[in-house]
Structure 1
Amino acid sequence: MPQITTRTLTPSETTAALAALADILSDCVEGGASVGFLSPYTPEDALPYWHGVARAVTEGDTVLIVAEKDGDILGTVQLGIGTMPNQPHRADLKKLLVHRKARGLGLSRLLMDAAERAAADHGRHVLVLDTATGSPAESIYEKFGWQRVGVIPQYALMPDGSYCGSTFFYKSLSGA
């Protein structure tokens, strides 16, 4: 049985993985995920976004984690640690993405656990994120112990251009 693993990518590994990451982002947008982009959205359309992530990884502002099965990257999540000076304890969880062909294998849980470990390794104990209200991801975050803060209606657009609200969550990794 193939093993699913997670790992944090180095800057050079991030650059080498751009095509796979672009494929995952495109697949998620085309599957209806509200993650910042409108349909149609091809892997080629996703490359500029991932080049920006690669720069942020190189600059130390972003931790990029991937989930792999048989050497293929099937999911990813980012931890934004390039925060303002008064927020050295906080990180932003960004773009939890799992390719549709790998859904149901537990990648979201593995990626979120890896992100929480990375946050702790970087001295971050307050994590925040937002997700499309009513999306499958919203219930995943609640299941993983994240606390709902509130909803902003019409915060973003779905890939088809319709409005969606965003639900904001946080998770405290310590009692601090």
Structure 2
Amino acid sequence: MKIIQANSSHIPLLAPLFDSYRVFYKQASDINAATSFLKERFSQSESIVFMAFIDGEAVGFTQLYTTFSSVSMLPYYVLNDLYVNQTQRKKGIGSALLNTAQEFCLKKGFKGLALETATDNPAQKLYEKLGWKKDSHSFHYFWRTNS
């Protein structure tokens, strides 16, 4: 397995994974929109993407976004997306992508990584195995526009 930091040249390999990730979360498949979304993120330097390859085939990715903690006055990453092709699961790819994100965060001197996941997502076991702590002392709220 090989993990790389993706750039815009990887979009043709990344977009199908990103589209499958969205379908996993019950969104309609739209490879053109997925490609446009990724192009925009890369062109604006708005995210960091790591991709996993096995035998030259793109099999998974994780995407990080930068944000800040006003209390600690430090930047941190939101690990917004983590996806491994269904046929490639249980091979350590998710762990490798998470470990790569953690190493990158340490290298950058950021406060840490945050993620949110569905309450029924079985990946919670993986997160906890790798040292992620469930935040049980605060609630997550979201305000949505009409769109």
* TM-score, structure 1 as length reference: 0.67
Task: Quote how far apart the aligned CAs of 1:55 are.
Answer: 2.5
User: Matched residues in 2 for 1:60 and 1:99: separation?
Assistant: 25
* 1:46-61 aligned within 5 A: 46-61=31-46
Aligned: 1:136 with 2:122: yes
The equivalent of 2:11 in structure 1 is 18
Aligned length: 139
* 1:1-176 aligned within 5 A: 4-10=1-7, 12-13=8-9, 17-30=10-23, 33-34=24-25, 37-38=26-27, 41-42=28-29, 45-81=30-66, 83-84=67-68, 86=70, 88-150=74-136
Percent identity of the aligned residues? 22
- What amino acid sits opposite 1:133 in the alignment? T
User: Matched residues in 2 for 1:88 and 1:59: separation?
Assistant: 22
- What amino acid sits opposite 1:64 in the alignment? V
Contact 2:76 2:110 in 1 (8 A): yes
Unaligned runs of 5+ in 1: 156-176
Contact 2:68 2:76 in 1 (8 A): no
Task: Quote how far apart the aligned CAs of 1:29 are.
Answer: 4.5
Residue-by-residue CA offset, 1:25-71 (whole Å, 9 max, x unaligned): 343454xx33xx52xx33xx043234323322333321110000111
Unaligned runs of 5+ in 2: 143-147
User: Matched residues in 1 for 2:69 and 2:134: separation?
Assistant: 25
Contact 2:60 2:85 in 1 (8 A): yes
Classify 1:22/1:56 alpha carbon distance in 2 versus 1 (closer, same or farther; 3 Å): closer
